[in-house]
Structure 1
Amino acid sequence: MAIRRRFKPQPRRENKNPHNINNKILASEVRLVGDNVEMGVYPIRQALSKAEEMGLDLVEISPNAEPPVCKIIDYKKFLYEQKKREKVMKAKATKVIVKEIRFGPNTDDHDYDFKKKHAEKFLKEGAKLKAYVFFKGRSIVYKDKGEILLLRLAQDLEEYGKVEQMPRLEGKRMTMFIAPKTKK
Structure 2
Amino acid sequence: MDIGHCDFGEGLIYSHYCYKIPVISIQEYKINKEIAAKELRVIDEAGGNVGVLSLDDARHAAEEKGLDLILIVPNATPPVARIMSFDKFRYIKDKEAKKQKAAQKAPEQKQIQISAREAENDLVMKMGRAHKFIESGHRVEVAMRLRGREKYMKDWSRMKMEEFMKMLKFPHKLIQNILFDGKSLTIKIDPIQSAPKPTESQQ
User: TM-score if structure 2 supplies the norm length?
Assistant: 0.50
Q: Which ranges of structure 2 fall in alignment gaps of 5 or more residues?
A: 3-16, 23-27, 34-55, 69-80, 88-92, 196-203
Q: 1:157 aligns with which of 160, 168, 176?
A: 168
Larger radius of gyration: 1
Partner Cα separation in structure 1 for residue 67 and residue 18 of structure 2: 33
Give CA deviations for 1:54-73 in whole Å, capped at 9, x if unaligned.
Answer: xxxxxx99824xxx87xxxx
Partner Cα separation in structure 1 for residue 64 and residue 168 of structure 2: 64
* Contact 2:134/2:140 (<8 A) preserved: yes
User: Aligned runs of 1:27-42 on 2, under 5 Å?
Assistant: 27-28=63-64
User: Aligned runs of 1:60-79 on 2, under 5 Å?
Assistant: 63-64=84-85
SS of structure 2 residue aligned to 1:147: helix
Give CA deviations for 1:26-85 in whole Å, capped at 9, x if unaligned.
Answer: 2148589xxxxxxxxxxxxxxxxxxxxxxxxxxx99824xxx87xxxxxxxxxxxx9xxx
Change (3 A) 1:12 1:172: same
Alpha-carbon shift at residue 21 of structure 1 (Å): 3.0
Alpha-carbon shift at residue 115 of structure 1 (Å): 0.5
SS of structure 2 residue aligned to 1:167: strand
2:182 matches 1:171: yes
Q: Which residue of 2 aligns with 1:115?
A: 126
Change (3 A) 1:110 1:29: closer
| Identity fraction in percent | 18
Change (3 A) 1:92 1:145: closer
Change (3 A) 1:105 1:182: same
Alpha-carbon shift at residue 182 of structure 1 (Å): 1.0
Change (3 A) 1:62 1:157: farther
* Contact 1:105/1:142 (<8 A) preserved: no
* Contact 1:124/1:180 (<8 A) preserved: yes
* Contact 1:123/1:161 (<8 A) preserved: yes
Amino acid at match of 2:84: P
Partner Cα separation in structure 2 for residue 169 and residue 92 of structure 1: 27
Q: 1:128 aligns with which of 121, 127, 139?
A: 139
May I ask how many residue pairs the two structures share in their alignment? Answer: 131
